[in-house]
């Protein structure tokens, strides 16, 4: 009797699950879900090709230096790169004297404590210092940016789906809202303080277009500073901040592959030598 009731309860449970499943499938067929405005008008990142792409990729130091110049003149006013030190710039082709000059002339000085008074103070940056933050804390950052907190850019390429292509698309993707949005979704609006960008997941981003005109940055090497060129260069620089040891990793990986190939060949040779006199 107990076994019968146990079977009955189990059958009822399975039946309820099947009924719920069939009802759900039937509902999806008769009334398929309608796409939301963000699903319909959001765009995937545009393809971007950088010298560092692929297993044999290497950084273009000239491009990285241009990207650093864009970061310095455009992005550094709001965005930090906490994980990068001034001395790390030697990795993109600057010599020690140039790094020292960059650190010494950096607009934001290093926060410190006055040893004589014990009060908060600042001092000139040293090559061993990390790049100082543009704001004292998150509260100050929000107060200066309409309550939006500018993210640190050290690992932004790794932290965003789409990586470098996404960052480049965001920088170059500002435009007026698609007229079709107003027709299909009359309730949609870009709130005050936000800016339409179809590459951003919500279509509206707090950051205004920062790289907004050709010639905004005058490159030292004479490269024509178009919006796309500046956006590509600063994206390449952010790829480097996220993975400064990329070239060493690629070299180590290639050495490992070559070692394994040689090892496999020697193993095969040893096998043939040991079993050469054994009849099959």
**Residue 29: predicted pLDDT:** 59
Structure tokens at 234: 């600063």
d(Cα 133, Cα 120) in Å, to the nearest integer?
A: 15
pLDDT at 28: 45
Q: What is the pLDDT of residue 255?
A: 92
Chain-centre distance of CA 143, in angstroms? Answer: 25
Residues whose CB falls within 8 Å of the CB of residue 242, separated by 6 or more in sequence, listed in order = 154, 155, 156, 157, 158
For the chain, residues with pLDDT lower than 50 are: 28
- Judge whether 75 is annotated as a binding position: yes
pLDDT score, position 2? 59
Q: What is the pLDDT of residue 36?
A: 77
Q: So what's the pLDDT on residue 189?
A: 87
207 labelled as ligand-binding? Answer: yes
79 has binding-site annotation: yes
Torsion over CA: 162, 65, 55, 267 (sign): negative
Q: Is 78 annotated as a binding residue?
A: yes
pLDDT at 22: 61
Rounded to whole angstroms, the Cα distance separating 236 from 49 reads: 10
pTM of the model: 0.83
Nearest residue to 67 (alpha-carbon basis) of 128, 158, 196, 157: 157
């Amino acid at each position: 009797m107990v076994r019968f009731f146990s079977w009955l309860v189990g059958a009822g449970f399975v039946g309820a699950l099947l009924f719920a499943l069939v009802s759900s499938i039937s509902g999806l067929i008769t009334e398929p879900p309608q796409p939301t405005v963000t699903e319909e008008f959001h765009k995937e990142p545009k393809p971007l090709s950088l010298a560092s792409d692929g297993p044999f990729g290497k950084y273009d130091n000239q491009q990285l230096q241009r990207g650093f110049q864009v970061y310095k003149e455009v992005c550094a006013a709001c965005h930090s790169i906490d994980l990068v030190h001034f001395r790390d710039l030697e990795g993109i082709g600057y010599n020690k004297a140039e790094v020292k000059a960059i650190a010494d002339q950096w607009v934001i000085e290093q926060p410190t404590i006055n040893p004589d008074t014990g009060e908060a103070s600042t001092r000139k940056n040293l090559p061993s210092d990390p790049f100082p933050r543009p704001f004292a804390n998150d509260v100050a950052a929000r107060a200066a940016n309409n309550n939006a907190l500018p993210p640190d850019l050290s690992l932004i390429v790794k932290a965003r789906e789409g990586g470098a292509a996404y960052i480049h698309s965001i920088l170059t993707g500002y435009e007026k809202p698609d007229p079709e949005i107003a027709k299909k979704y009359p309730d949609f609006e870009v709130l005050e303080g936000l800016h339409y960008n179809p590459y951003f997941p919500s279509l509206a981003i707090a950051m205004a277009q920062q790289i907004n005109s050709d010639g905004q940055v005058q490159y030292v090497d004479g490269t024509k500073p178009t919006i796309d060129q500046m956006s590509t260069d600063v994206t390449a620089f952010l790829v480097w901040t996220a993975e400064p040891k990329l070239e060493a990793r690629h070299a180590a990986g290639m050495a490992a592959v070559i070692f394994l190939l040689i090892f496999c060949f020697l193993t095969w040779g040893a096998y043939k030598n040991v079993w050469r006199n054994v009849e099959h």
